[in-house]
Amino acid sequence: MKDKNTIKIYLYTRFERLWHWLQGLMIICLIVTGFEIHGTYTLLGFQKAVNLHNLIGLTWLIMFAFFVFWLLTTGEWKQYIPTTKKLILVFKYYMWDIFKGKPHPIQKSKGAKHNPLQRLAYLGISAMLLPIQMTTGLLYYLYNDIPQIFELPVIAIMHTFIALLLLNFLIVHVYMTTTGHSLFSHIAGMITGWEEVFETTQIDAWETKATKKN
């Protein structure tokens, strides 16, 4: 059993953690205000919801640019390179092995913070859904000030639909945090930066690309 001892490694830098929680907070606020604007419920009142939604949306947009800059300059973008290696294994783990108490097939490491399933999900979200959401949001915001390439209903319906997909992601994402070594270990990791991994975890070469420097 000795090889199953866990150690903590410093996985998430201060910037990453700050960005993660800030982005999470902004997305939740955007969802809450957004669906009020959509007419799903009444909470703040339409005008307040719109003002807050615009404020947070624009802030997010600007800060996302900083995040992209950080990704590019640090090389952390490589964390998002999709792979099919062990993808089936991870999928099988969540579908079956987790109930049998088997260990996760992939251990996190500095060079590979995300498992293959996460890579796919996060790449899809960061590179597809979020940019489309930001673009449609900006087009919506500037609808009266710029040439109207798309009709308002097209923009609005896309924006709402992607918001629902992101809400979908949020639910799964929050749930997945409970699947660590203990219910809250992943959340703790994202707060402190220190993530629990097995002491003897073998890290394959492909998993460490992000930190390899020539």
Under the rule (CB under 8 A), what is the footprint of another protein? Answer: 4, 13-15, 18, 22, 37-40, 42, 45-47, 50-51, 54-55, 58-59, 62-63, 66, 94, 98-104, 143-145, 151-153, 156-157, 160-161, 163-165, 167-169, 171-172, 175, 178-183
Q: Of the two residues 102 and 212, which places its CB atom closer to another protein in the complex?
A: 102
Rounded Cα–Cα distance for residues 207 and 21 (Å): 25
Q: Of the two residues 81 and 199, which places its CB atom closer to another protein in the complex?
A: 199
Q: Of the two residues 17 and 78, which places its CB atom closer to another protein in the complex?
A: 17
Q: Are 201 and 109 in contact (CB under 8 A)?
A: yes
Rounded Cα–Cα distance for residues 23 and 48 (Å): 21
Rounded Cα–Cα distance for residues 34 and 129 (Å): 16
CB of 167 to another protein, least distance (A): 5
The CA-to-CA distance between both ends of the chain, in Å, stands at 37
CB of 163 to another protein, least distance (A): 8
Rounded Cα–Cα distance for residues 71 and 64 (Å): 10
Q: Which residue is associated with the tokens 């260990």? A: 103
Q: Of the two residues 168 and 206, which places its CB atom closer to another protein in the complex?
A: 168
CB of 171 to another protein, least distance (A): 5
